[in-house]
């Protein structure tokens, strides 16, 4: 059981370039999330989805876009990369069990924008 | 609004000593509380969760946490530190009425000295 798989693990972008971070889960979870982790700042929610075709903004959505065409996939798109988007990105998924859903995280994608 | 405060960005203990990582939260409704651990270059893994069933929660690897409503705290403890406990620990809170919004603390890096 692979859980949550993210690709790529590392990427260097130039300012203004675009890219997509891929996220796939094989647990049939309804909820999926994208977080960014910056040193000393914890995790900040970028976007989340409660099911295929439904997405919503989190705390820090500016500069990002998402889509959810299937239950399994939740890609994160950066349209015009900026140095402020240098971060480690984590995809997570969860399902509601007994009212206490637990996040299952991917291994992360480290992005550097130069 | 929900927020999580972790006191101490770095904690250092000797092997065999008590581990105490502090977490205080604010929540306008009864919360669900979590502790996650992150080992270097990995995603976050669940240590334990509080779901109102019991105020003392036991997790994996000998960790436990106690929910104290009067102090709005959810401190993480382990009686005897092991070298393998060296990692970063995150406290998180989720509103009881919202499955999607998890709020993370800024993290505490635990160093275990031989």
In this structure, the strands spanning B108-113 and B87-95 are antiparallel
- Confidence at residue B99, expressed as pLDDT on a 0 to 100 scale: 63
Peptide bond connecting A8 to the previous residue in cis, omega within 30 degrees of 0: yes
A29 closest CA partner among A112, A106, A107, A113: A106
Q: Please state, in angstroms and rounded to a whole number, the distance separating the CA atoms of residues A88 and B41.
A: 10
B43/A90 touch (CB, cutoff 8 Å), yes or no: yes
- Confidence at residue B1, expressed as pLDDT on a 0 to 100 scale: 62
Q: pLDDT category, B54, cuts 50, 70, 90?
A: confident
Q: Please state, in angstroms and rounded to a whole number, the distance separating the CA atoms of residues B98 and B85.
A: 32
Residues A67-98: tens digit of each pLDDT: 999 999 999 999 899 999 999 999 999 877 55
- Confidence at residue A99, expressed as pLDDT on a 0 to 100 scale: 56
State mean pLDDT over B88-97: 84
Could you say which DSSP state residue A73 is in? B
Burial of B64 (0-12, 13-18, 19+ CB in 10 A): middle
B80 against A41, higher pLDDT:
B80
Q: Which two tokens stand for residue B73?
A: 């705290």
For A:51-90, CB contacts with B below 8 A are: 56, 58, 90
For B:26-55, CB contacts with A below 8 A are: 32, 34, 36, 41-46, 49, 51
Closest CA in chain A for residue B109: A40
B98: contact with A, CB 8 A cutoff: no
B101: contact with A, CB 8 A cutoff: yes
- Mean of per-residue pLDDT scores for chain B: 89
**Residues with Cβ < 8 Å from B69, sequence gap 6 or more?**
none
B4: contact with A, CB 8 A cutoff: yes
The alpha carbon of residue B108 is apart from the nearest alpha carbon of chain A, in Å, by 9
Burial of A40 (0-12, 13-18, 19+ CB in 10 A): exposed
3-state secondary structure of B70: helix
A42: contact with B, CB 8 A cutoff: yes
B99/A96 touch (CB, cutoff 8 Å), yes or no: yes
């Amino acid at each position: 059981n692979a859980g949550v798989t993210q690709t790529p693990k590392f990427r260097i972008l130039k300012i203004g370039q675009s890219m997509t971070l891929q996220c796939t889960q094989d647990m049939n979870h309804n909820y999926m999330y994208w977080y960014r982790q910056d040193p000393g700042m914890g995790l900040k929610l970028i976007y989340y989805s409660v099911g295929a075709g439904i997405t919503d903004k989190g705390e820090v959505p500016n500069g990002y876009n998402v889509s959810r065409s299937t239950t399994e996939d939740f890609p994160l798109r950066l349209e015009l990369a900026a140095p402020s988007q240098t971060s480690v990105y984590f995809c997570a998924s969860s399902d509601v069990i007994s009212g206490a859903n637990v996040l299952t995280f991917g291994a992360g994608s480290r992005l550097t924008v130069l | 609004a929900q927020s999580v405060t972790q006191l101490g960005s770095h904690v250092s203990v000797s092997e065999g000593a008590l581990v105490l990582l502090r977490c205080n939260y604010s929540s306008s409704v009864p919360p669900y509380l979590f502790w996650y651990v992150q080992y270097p270059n990995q995603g976050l893994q669940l240590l334990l969760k509080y779901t109102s069933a019991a105020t003392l929660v036991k997790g994996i690897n000998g960790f436990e946490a106690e929910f104290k409503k009067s102090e709005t705290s959810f401190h993480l403890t382990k009686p005897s530190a092991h070298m393998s406990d060296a990692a970063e620990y995150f406290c998180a809170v989720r509103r009881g009425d919202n499955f999607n919004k998890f709020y993370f603390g800024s993290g505490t890096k635990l160093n275990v000295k031989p």
